[in-house]
Structure 1
């Protein structure tokens, strides 16, 4: 009914507008009072200043505010070129700029995965997820990058520019290169070519503008010593972190990492192919996103923002109880109740190991469930709408983009 749609639209506008206004107010108040705000956004800003001033990007950042920890710049040089725009703003307002993008990014990322009736509640509840509130608090770019990937896969499905956003996102942060592999697996070759071209073009631009920093990044800085030291910290929820916490360094640990990555990659590509053929492109995208978190050497808890569209997908499929359990798991308590830092993770007992690796375990269990159900009964997975194989995902969820409706 029209009044129901209008009410829901008003709710969404209130949530997005209220969150945006609230973050803007915080940024202004913190700026006026000189209160520290945005650790990671201050690093982005300092990286931008390093470019503007001709300083070394992968040496200690000279433009960091005095209250910020001496964190290194770990992104590719192209990201630093983008971050030069932040040099025009005070540190707190740089945080505010990224925070203003949080609610719209969540809406874009969540919309294709959830029924309209549940969207306001899930959008509001997303702010209780640790990956979301930690991303916002730190001034991170995770939500923006996730929204760009979802928009490229869904909203631009009929555009000749499809794939370019994924390539640019990959040039900002390398892990999204996995989505180009996703495009190849689902036989979207033209999109994959555009994504690769965008990635190569952005990287080449950075090489021209920042030749010294580019050479240093691709030859040494990409293996950041800061990451090597903190890899085993509980805040890192990748497979390599799990191995670091549970196995001694050496050949066995290396084999565990390589074998797991190879097997998981093969199974994931098979699942993505099967889901795509069944018309389950949204689920296929979530599989790839989950793999990106498992495969990356560093998957900080704030990188796990993909849990939000995953919860939307579960709720839309009627698995609300499972969605609630997972949501409670990702509120942040699991990394707070176990010993962490200074190598304490290596002395965890079994209970602490289960709780401390909860994000990772949740992703592995989800992957095994998908694998088991696909092998045991493939008929359970095709979309309820019975969309033909190869049809772009999200049509049933994106009426605002296309007026075409499938027959019921």
Structure 2
């Protein structure tokens, strides 16, 4: 475990200059190097909602001109987006980008905050470095660049995790809302059930059902269109074999292209992932909230038929948890090397090298690089962390020698053993 370092002094002028240079370099990289997505998804939301509310046609009849893409979320998501009718396109972009950046800051605080406090790092430089590392992740800057909703949904789930850790009465509300907006977060309700958070699971289910029912009452024809037809129409999502689809289904689709992916192999993979996920959650129990959220986010991406690269923000809790474990003293070099490699791959945009041809062994390995990262993250989470034994051993050593640890250090170790996203 990390050693207690006592009171931390603020960074000096040289350190502040270094941090400013780091921020400038990251900002320059993001502005110049990655491909900007031109708020493509936000434009789909904007045009689809205008098409629908302007009575030009049904919400799910809208298609991007010249393409098959259309609105793919449940009707409740469209209801949440109707305020865009009051805004011009430039103002919509400004509001959505500002909101995404604010959500990113809050997600970073919830993920990195417990790690920074537990290791006793100075807050300002630690948050700046963590923020720069966070911004370089392709799923993060793609979410902002596309104008996507992933960070908002992740924030809702992480707020629920914090409520679970504190025993809050509103735990489940965030997961329920996220599941009503997009189907992928619905797996977190399964997490609540497996780990016996029964009240939170009931709350999430009721909230999701209430939001879905509200959408049905306000737009019954649109709801029928979604649940009976649009939900099952994968053509409106894009080509399953497209390299951005980094789910298990996407890997199979690229392997079989131009034929369709094998339903049998997809089902076998889904059952294997679901089995690993459920086994780890059952073994961890209800106390290890951080691990439960991390494993569920990765499993949801693998199981989903379509997981675009920007959807991989759901893997960020797993990266944060594994980095936290790897940075324990004595340093877990193998775990740290694997976590750093997974992070580097998620920053690299490497899968796009096989955008036009994912055939051959190189295409199978490189074109599915993010699929292998997710499988590696899930397996690393399933493995029993040595920190539990180390914490118990150190606790016994302190008792045997009569040494007294600093109170905040003792609280930090208890915080880690519970695996909580508490922010006290």
Give the TM-score normalised by structure 2: 0.77
Q: In terms of mean alpha carbon deviation, does 256-265 or 191-200 score higher?
A: 256-265
Match of 1:357 in 2: 368
Partner residue of 1:59 out of 61, 75, 78: 61
Structure 2, unmatched stretches of 5+, are 1-6, 29-36, 328-334, 393-411
The superposition leaves residues 41-84 of structure 1 with CA deviations (integer Å, 9 ceiling, x where unpaired) of 111112322342233001125xx7x8x96630111111110110
Match of 2:106 in 1: 108
Q: For 2:232, what is the secondary structure of its paired residue?
A: coil
Match of 1:330 in 2: 346
Displacement of 1:335 after TM fit?
1.9
Match of 1:49 in 2: 50
Give the Cα separation in 1 of the matches to 2:108 and 2:140. Answer: 13
Match of 1:288 in 2: 296
Structure 1 residues 270 and 58, CA gap change in structure 2 (3 angstroms): same
Structure 1, unmatched stretches of 5+, are 23-35, 400-408
Answer yes or no: is the 8 Å Cα contact 1:102–1:143 preserved in 2: yes
Q: In terms of mean alpha carbon deviation, does 115-124 or 159-168 score higher?
A: 115-124
Structure 1 residues 56 and 382, CA gap change in structure 2 (3 angstroms): farther
Q: In terms of mean alpha carbon deviation, does 322-331 or 135-144 score higher?
A: 322-331
The answer on 1:200 being equivalent to 2:246 is: no
Structure 1 residues 308 and 261, CA gap change in structure 2 (3 angstroms): closer
Match of 1:187 in 2: 196
The superposition leaves residues 279-306 of structure 1 with CA deviations (integer Å, 9 ceiling, x where unpaired) of 4321221110001000000000010013
Match of 1:235 in 2: 244
- Map 1:294-333 → 2, pairs under 5 A: 294-317=302-325, 318=327, 319-333=335-349
Answer yes or no: is the 8 Å Cα contact 2:111–2:317 preserved in 1: yes
Structure 1 residues 71 and 92, CA gap change in structure 2 (3 angstroms): farther
Partner residue of 2:218 out of 209, 214, 221: 209
Answer yes or no: is the 8 Å Cα contact 2:73–2:182 preserved in 1: yes
Give the Cα separation in 1 of the matches to 2:361 and 2:371. Answer: 15
The superposition leaves residues 208-255 of structure 1 with CA deviations (integer Å, 9 ceiling, x where unpaired) of 111111111101100124257510111100001111112378898111
Give the Cα separation in 2 of the matches to 1:206 and 1:276. Answer: 35
Answer yes or no: is the 8 Å Cα contact 1:37–1:91 preserved in 2: no
Answer yes or no: is the 8 Å Cα contact 1:48–1:87 preserved in 2: yes
Give the Cα separation in 1 of the matches to 2:389 and 2:317. Answer: 20
Give the TM-score normalised by structure 1: 0.79
Match of 2:413 in 1: 385
Give the Cα separation in 2 of the matches to 1:112 and 1:85. Answer: 28
Structure 1 residues 333 and 263, CA gap change in structure 2 (3 angstroms): closer
Answer yes or no: is the 8 Å Cα contact 2:242–2:355 preserved in 1: no
Match of 2:151 in 1: 143
Answer yes or no: is the 8 Å Cα contact 2:298–2:318 preserved in 1: no
Displacement of 1:337 after TM fit?
1.5
Answer yes or no: is the 8 Å Cα contact 1:238–1:360 preserved in 2: yes
Match of 1:405 in 2: none
RMSD (Å), alpha carbons: 3.5
Match of 1:38 in 2: 39
Structure exhibiting the larger radius of gyration computed from Cα positions: 2
Displacement of 1:120 after TM fit?
2.4
Displacement of 1:260 after TM fit?
1.6
Q: For 2:302, what is the secondary structure of its paired residue?
A: helix
Match of 2:262 in 1: 253
Answer yes or no: is the 8 Å Cα contact 1:37–1:92 preserved in 2: no
Answer yes or no: is the 8 Å Cα contact 2:253–2:261 preserved in 1: no
Aligned residues: 367
Displacement of 1:382 after TM fit?
7.7
The superposition leaves residues 317-373 of structure 1 with CA deviations (integer Å, 9 ceiling, x where unpaired) of 215443332222012431221243xxx33xx121221111111101112222333x3
The answer on 1:220 being equivalent to 2:220 is: no
Answer yes or no: is the 8 Å Cα contact 1:154–1:393 preserved in 2: yes
Structure 1 residues 130 and 193, CA gap change in structure 2 (3 angstroms): same
Give the Cα separation in 2 of the matches to 1:182 and 1:337. Answer: 35
Displacement of 1:167 after TM fit?
0.7
Give the Cα separation in 2 of the matches to 1:296 and 1:123. Answer: 28
Greater than 4 Å deviation, 4+ residue runs: 248-252, 376-384, 386-389
- Map 1:97-136 → 2, pairs under 5 A: 97-114=95-112, 115-116=115-116, 117=121, 118-136=126-144
